[in-house]
Structure 1
């Protein structure tokens, strides 16, 4: 099957509303997403599912054990979700997220400055990839001499990021 170009592009206002993750242990997942990252629990269905949010939205992330209770992560080399990206509104908010992650003893897989954004990469307790990031204002995006977007990947200075944290 060949990739097909859409006859009509998707509207520019379209966005991802939420992601739903299969987890092995709901309490453990809630400990990470609510206890470490600070999401709010909006609704819970016993020990089978929970819906969490930033800022009171009905849910940004659904967590469930319907097909995965006690299960293990997919093996390397299999298809599936690469990561869930969580967009923070400011650099200070991203710095606070980094502080929370480090305080919880969670290792980072990486930290990158992409020119247009700054990103932290880690794993949740079920080995799902998680990206915590903030976008730079478009006026700060790197551009070549002809004005074309010039993204890159460089190591993010974590100490500099943490200095922007509002305690």
Structure 2
């Protein structure tokens, strides 16, 4: 039997291959609001929330001018960005809609509320907030009972953090 990972282990950052660095920065910084912490000329950039060294790495080292992988191939399904509360998630939704970026889907999973879209390179992006663990739906045996219910985006927008 393998030993479980330490319970405080977290995914620290994602590093994405992109076709156009400025276009990717426009999405992750201009739309979603992540701050550029460092840039390596026209080939790479690192972005973060709250002054961390980086949550997102973007590079064109192997992908400048490239295209997304076609459907039916392996790769990253999506990167998920966890917002601290419903008001912050609503603000993120407002930013996305104001930028004219289409929403691919939205769901209430019981444990979380999520909005799905794609970045300019076709990478899946999930914007979500978690409910408190004591509010997660559970089966009689204690295991999670996640669902895939509709998420009311208008109500979420109404609760968005003020600008």
* TM-score in terms of structure 2 length: 0.96
Q: Give matches, 1:81-120, under 5 Å.
A: 81-120=76-115
Question: How many residues are treated as equivalent by the alignment?
Answer: 162
2:128 paired with 1:133? yes
Q: Which residue of 2 aligns with 1:124?
A: 119
Runs of 5+ consecutive residues of structure 1 not aligned to the other structure: none
Which of the residues 56, 63, 67 maps onto 2:62?
67
Query: Aligned partners of 2:54, 2:161: CA distance in 1, in Å?
Result: 26
Q: Offset of 1:160 from its aligned partner?
A: 1.0
SS across alignment from 1:108: coil
Q: Offset of 1:9 from its aligned partner?
A: 1.2
SS across alignment from 2:95: helix
Q: Which residue of 1 aligns with 2:139?
A: 144
Q: 1:115-143 CA distances to partner (integer Å, 9 max, x unpaired)?
A: 00000000000000000000001121112
Runs of 5+ consecutive residues of structure 2 not aligned to the other structure: none
2:59 paired with 1:36? no
SS across alignment from 1:67: coil
SS across alignment from 2:104: strand
Q: Offset of 1:104 from its aligned partner?
A: 0.3
Q: Offset of 1:148 from its aligned partner?
A: 3.6
Q: Offset of 1:146 from its aligned partner?
A: 4.9
SS across alignment from 1:51: strand
Runs of 4+ aligned residues of structure 1 deviating over 6 Å after TM superposition are: none
Query: Aligned partners of 1:98, 1:104: CA distance in 2, in Å?
Result: 10
* TM-score in terms of structure 1 length: 0.94
Query: Aligned partners of 1:100, 1:88: CA distance in 2, in Å?
Result: 14
Q: CA RMSD in A?
A: 1.1
Q: Offset of 1:149 from its aligned partner?
A: 2.3
